[in-house]
Amino acid sequence: MKTVGGNGSVSDLPHVVIIGAGFAGLAAAQELGNTAVRVTVIDRNNYHLFVPLLYQVATAALSPADVAEPIRHVLGRYPNIGVVLGEVSSVDTQAREVSLASGETLHYDRLVVATGSTSSYFGHDEWRSVAPACKSIEEARLIRSRILSAFEEAERDGASDREALMTFVIVGGGPTGVEMAGSVAELARHALTADFRHIRPETARIILVEGGPRLLTAFPDSLADYAAKALERLGVQIMTNAPVERITEDGLTAGGRFIPARTVLWGAGVAPTGAAKLLGVPPGPGGRVAVCADLSVEGLDHVYAMGDVAACLGEDGRPLPGLAQVAQQQGRFLGKGLRRAIIKGEPLSAFHFYNRGNAAIIGRHHAIFDFGRYRMKGYPAWMLWAIVHVVLLVNTAQRVRVSLQWLWRYLTYRRGARIITTPVPPRGR
Amino acid sequence: MKTVGGNGSVSDLPHVVIIGAGFAGLAAAQELGNTAVRVTVIDRNNYHLFVPLLYQVATAALSPADVAEPIRHVLGRYPNIGVVLGEVSSVDTQAREVSLASGETLHYDRLVVATGSTSSYFGHDEWRSVAPACKSIEEARLIRSRILSAFEEAERDGASDREALMTFVIVGGGPTGVEMAGSVAELARHALTADFRHIRPETARIILVEGGPRLLTAFPDSLADYAAKALERLGVQIMTNAPVERITEDGLTAGGRFIPARTVLWGAGVAPTGAAKLLGVPPGPGGRVAVCADLSVEGLDHVYAMGDVAACLGEDGRPLPGLAQVAQQQGRFLGKGLRRAIIKGEPLSAFHFYNRGNAAIIGRHHAIFDFGRYRMKGYPAWMLWAIVHVVLLVNTAQRVRVSLQWLWRYLTYRRGARIITTPVPPRGR
């Protein structure tokens, strides 16, 4: 309907279809904005989710809208980009067609798959309902409701199960588990202290369970040690060498020990979404889609994969980690590359990841940053973490909102979003 | 556990139980804070809801946490007040006991019922699922998802039903319906304009349907006329003398006319919650609980009712309207009265309502205010409306958040919370 330039309809231009509006997909689309290329971005949600801050929604510090930005709003300024809200049901790489669950079919000239990752329970899908992960807004809201409801139940006169209600177990010693444990600890130790009469939230047990010998294996020893000490100072109990054997509504068994706990949160594993199957290619390392150095999918023409779903080998010959910065750099690289390839006929070059530093935040004044050569911890790392995350948010309004809420929380120790709005399913009693 | 003063345990003090933490219940509890009275506030939600701004959550302008404040946070500073999250299942006014659905029983010395109102479909409960009302956070979120999803569906290539998808009918010409219609119109005409490629959201039809001969019957003619003109300038079509006959997934029949519409919103009626039945008294005017001038329930000892659930007669001999300001004034009055009654043995006086002005907002620069003797409309009324509503929010953080979001929206016409997070049930096609 709307035209670019005025010389022809957008629908005559070469068509790039991008599946997924995460960090990778959105960056690629933006690079293709206002060019002589027609772009369609497909996502099952109408928003781009800033996953690195989602744990703050789960722990009542931020609201969903603070970390979710409507895709149409981000891309609305580019008349050559359309957005489709829908679920991809199949891809025909011969006919170059993407079919949606709603029945629509889109023809593409180039297809970019950036469908990300999902939480993985290592074959124990029965744990999913008792130990929710934090990968979507709905899950974050559910976790928030579960944590707050546990305190409410414990507050009841004559609550029989007070110890288990006031025990919070977080599974997984990676950045996700560490950040979640720190944030739950701060919620209990600071934000809720004045709220109850029969319980003292600051006495809640927060336990971080890790199957391997230490936390944060992606970080150097010195930083991981620092993080562990900072967590312990916050009152988080750390159990290493404790692989999870069983999770029920009554608690968790790990390393042969049963911990009575009514709230178990999962931060242990992620798996790529099923894009290899969708594309009809054999799964690559870790189930991800194997891609060449230029991010084209091995064995397919004009199909590309990037972000968490793609196994792109780094300089050390191992697949790059599933990080926002990897996805964003790949998106920019591929967006620029496709622009040149389609408009000027230039071949794609090889992607090189530039490590901007790997970070984890433990809590107030405590974070770690690993830049490879340099390392940073404590207050400066915490400041840098906050600045980087605010800058990375999609728009100015979110930056202002999140900064203000952080400032307010920093000054008062309070959390504004302590509302229970997702009904917590009865836990069998 | 915690004691007041140190001379005795809180549990030895006279016990006031307040059911409902709306404007009335919260105000009463605050007046009883830090006194030699034990107070328990029961609510089914863990938050106090600022209902007058809920329509802004439904139209993507604010987030739920901006209009919901944890009750424990508001009352946490008063060691003599406890909060119970629960649903009251029965009241025994002889034994002076309140029973909760969870099985707990609370003994009271004085009982205050402030359970508010709920949406009423005038005997057509089958309309509830097709035409949601906006009385809770869950409903507001559902309405937000429905409105945004309708535009998404209309945007689909070859959407067959585009006209019905882009028609939004609001039922009820009172303040609720007027505010909702104005806000939906502004969302379509301004906030969404750049977002779509196949549809033009500014061409959406927004229809306000009223059964009676004119809008805003609680306001003088001149103000109601002004509001109708302002709505029409925003592109809202007003249908008066059009009682609703039927609502289905395909549209609405009102005044003998069928309007194809996939989104119908209900702002037509409220009914008191079933407190009369709970207390075992005959329902008073409009199904509300009949109260004496001092807000005590007719025929019961030491039981009081206030807010939307109570039929308290005004100076004109008619029940006071279900407004936040009535509820809040009654709460303060009864809180103070009970404090004096319990501690000093003074009898309760008679409640007098002081009209602080009845307002409705139509949209940017347009609102009406009726102070009885004075009237105000247009820009000054709009400014006053905004100031009053910000001041009435429970805490400073909310005031700052809401003010900033309004300012930002005012300057940019954008709305930050345009996220679809409640799955919209399939509408039978």
Using CB atoms within 10 Å of the CB of residue A237, give its burial: 0 to 12 exposed, 13 to 18 middle, 19+ buried. Answer: middle
Interface of A with B in 191-220 (CB under 8 A): 192, 194-198
H or E stretch including A238?
strand A236-239
Q: Are B339 and B147 in contact (CB under 8 A)?
A: no
Which of A397-401, B7-11, B160-164, B399-403 shows the highest mean pLDDT? B160-164
Predicted confidence at residue A10, as pLDDT, reads 72
Predicted confidence at residue A406, as pLDDT, reads 79
| Pick from A76, A194, A416: CB nearest B195 | A76
| Of A103, A401, A2, residue with least CA distance to B195 | A2
**Shortest Cα distance from B291 to chain A (angstroms)?**
32
Q: How far apart are CA A82 and CA B397, in angstroms?
A: 37
Q: How far apart are CA A175 and CA A110, in angstroms?
A: 35
Predicted confidence at residue A373, as pLDDT, reads 85
Share of chain A above pLDDT 70, in %: 96
| Pick from A64, A416, A420: CB nearest B421 | A64
CA separation, residue B378 to residues B143, B362, B409, B414 (Å): 28, 9, 19, 22
Could you report the per-residue pLDDT of A335-348, keeping only the tens digit for each?
999 999 999 999 99
Is B33 near chain A, with CB under 8 Å? no
The per-residue pLDDT of chain A, averaged, comes to 91
**Shortest Cα distance from B195 to chain A (angstroms)?**
5
Mean pLDDT of A383-398: 82
Residue B179 annotated among the catalytic residues of the structure: yes
Does the distance separating the beta carbons of B72 and A156 come in below 8 Å?
no
Question: Which CATH superfamily includes the segment(s) B125-268?
Answer: FAD/NAD(P)-binding domain (3.50.50.60)
One-letter identity of residue B216? L
A interface test, pick of B62, B421, B424 with most A CB neighbours within 10 Å: B421
Q: Search chain B and give the residue with CA nearest A61.
A: B65
Share of chain B above pLDDT 90, in %: 74
Could you report the per-residue pLDDT of A166-203, keeping only the tens digit for each?
999 999 999 999 999 999 999 999 888 888 988 999 99
Could you report the per-residue pLDDT of B243-284, keeping only the tens digit for each?
999 999 999 999 999 999 999 999 988 899 989 999 999 999
Predicted confidence at residue A2, as pLDDT, reads 40
* B85 contacts in chain A (CB < 8 Å): 149, 152, 155, 420
The per-residue pLDDT of chain B, averaged, comes to 91
Residue A8 binned pLDDT confidence (cut-offs 50, 70, 90): low
CB count within 10 Å of CB B383 equals 13
Residue A423 binned pLDDT confidence (cut-offs 50, 70, 90): low
Question: Which CATH superfamily includes the segment(s) A3-119+271-344?
Answer: FAD/NAD(P)-binding domain (3.50.50.60)
Predicted confidence at residue A110, as pLDDT, reads 97
Predicted confidence at residue B412, as pLDDT, reads 73
Asked if residue A91 has pLDDT above 90, the reply is: yes
Q: How far apart are CA A295 and CA A305, in angstroms?
A: 6
A interface test, pick of B17, B74, B148, B157 with most A CB neighbours within 10 Å: B157
Q: What is A256-270 written as a DSSP string?
A: TEEEE-SEEEE-S-E
Predicted confidence at residue A427, as pLDDT, reads 44
Asked if residue B424 has pLDDT above 70, the reply is: no
Q: How far apart are CA A61 and CA A416, in angstroms?
A: 6
Asked if residue A412 has pLDDT above 60, the reply is: yes
* B155 contacts in chain A (CB < 8 Å): 84-85
Does the distance separating the beta carbons of B194 and A414 come in below 8 Å?
no
Is B44 near chain A, with CB under 8 Å? no
Same topology, domains A3-119+271-344 and A125-268? Answer is: yes
Asked if residue B299 has pLDDT above 90, the reply is: yes
Question: Pick the catalytic residue: B153, B179, B186, B210?
Answer: B179
Mean pLDDT of A31-44: 96
| Pick from B46, B77, B398: CB nearest A152 | B46
- Among positive and negative, which fits the CA dihedral A33, A34, A36, A38? positive
Which of A295-309, B153-167, B355-369 shows the highest mean pLDDT? A295-309
Q: How far apart are CA A242 and CA B48, in angstroms?
A: 42
Asked if residue B173 has pLDDT above 50, the reply is: yes
Does the distance separating the beta carbons of A1 and B420 come in below 8 Å?
no
Mean pLDDT of B137-147: 94
Share of chain A above pLDDT 90, in %: 74
Predicted confidence at residue B193, as pLDDT, reads 84
| Of A204, A268, A203, residue with least CA distance to A242 | A268
Asked if residue B170 has pLDDT above 70, the reply is: yes
Is A118 near chain B, with CB under 8 Å? no
Mean pLDDT of B341-358: 93
Predicted confidence at residue B427, as pLDDT, reads 44
Predicted confidence at residue B5, as pLDDT, reads 41
Predicted confidence at residue B166, as pLDDT, reads 96
Is A66 near chain B, with CB under 8 Å? yes
Q: Search chain A and give the residue with CA nearest B156.
A: A84
Mean pLDDT of A158-163: 85
CA trace torsion B215, B221, B227, B232 (10° rounding): 70
Asked if residue B305 has pLDDT above 60, the reply is: yes
Q: Are B110 and B302 in contact (CB under 8 A)?
A: yes
All structural domains of chain B with their residue ranges: 3-119+271-344, 125-268
Predicted confidence at residue A294, as pLDDT, reads 96
Residue B208 binned pLDDT confidence (cut-offs 50, 70, 90): very high
Is A107 near chain B, with CB under 8 Å? no
Residue B297 binned pLDDT confidence (cut-offs 50, 70, 90): very high
Could you report the per-residue pLDDT of A273-321, keeping only the tens digit for each?
989 999 999 999 999 999 999 999 999 999 999 999 999 999 889 999 9
Could you report the per-residue pLDDT of B96-129, keeping only the tens digit for each?
999 999 889 999 999 999 999 999 999 999 999 9
Predicted confidence at residue B423, as pLDDT, reads 63
Does the distance separating the beta carbons of A73 and B195 come in below 8 Å?
yes
